Structure 1
Amino acid sequence: MLVLSRKKDQSIMIGDDIEITVLAIEGDQIKLGINAPRSVEIQRKEIYLAIQEENSEAANASINLLQQLTSTLQKK
């Protein structure tokens, strides 16, 4: 993991087209501005993990339904 120190209004670049800027520092929180192409998805990690979990559950449910359907069709 790369660790960088930045002050208010300073930025870091990721590749050629993603810029992250420190907009404000308020107590134990910082506000970041992210300038990136629209094709790059940006989400808070807790939201990202929740989406991954829901996708996994949906995929498992689909597999279970498919297995039930296959079993039902084989009995006929």
Structure 2
Amino acid sequence: MLVLTRKKNESIMIGDEIEITVLAVEGEQIKLGIQAPKQIDIHRKEVYVSIQEENSEASKTEVQLLSNLTSFLNKKS
């Protein structure tokens, strides 16, 4: 993990296209501004983890549905 120290209105660059700027420091919280291309998804980590879990569950459901459909069609034959 890279650890950097930044002050209000200072930025870091990730590659050539992503800029993260410290907008404010309020107690134990900081506000960040992120400039990135529209095709890059940006989420808080807890939201990202939730999306990944939901996608994993959805893919399991799809596999189970396909399996059930295959079994049903095989019984019909």
Same fold (TM over 0.5): yes
Measured against aligned partners, the alpha-carbon deviations of 1:41-72 in whole angstroms (never above 9, x if no partner) come to 11111111111111111110111111111111
Distance 2:37 2:75 in 1: 52
User: Which residue number in structure 2 is paired with residue 8 of structure 1?
Assistant: 8
- Structure 1 unaligned regions, length at least 5: none
Residue-pair matches, total:
76
Give the drift of 1:13. Answer: 0.6
Deviation at 1:75, TM superposition (A): 1.4
Percent of pairs identical after alignment? Answer: 67
SS at structure 2 position matched to 1:70: helix
Q: CA RMSD in A?
A: 0.8
Gaps of 5+ in 2: none
Q: TM-score, normalised by structure 2?
A: 0.93
Runs of 4+ in structure 1 deviating by more than 4 angstroms, as ranges, are: none
**What pairs up with 1:1-76 in 2 under 5 angstroms?**
1-76=1-76
* Counterpart-to-counterpart distance in 1, 2:62 and 2:31: 40
- Aligned partner of 2:35: which letter? N
Query: 2 CA distance for matches of 1:35 and 1:54?
Result: 27
TM-score, normalised to structure 1's length?
A: 0.94
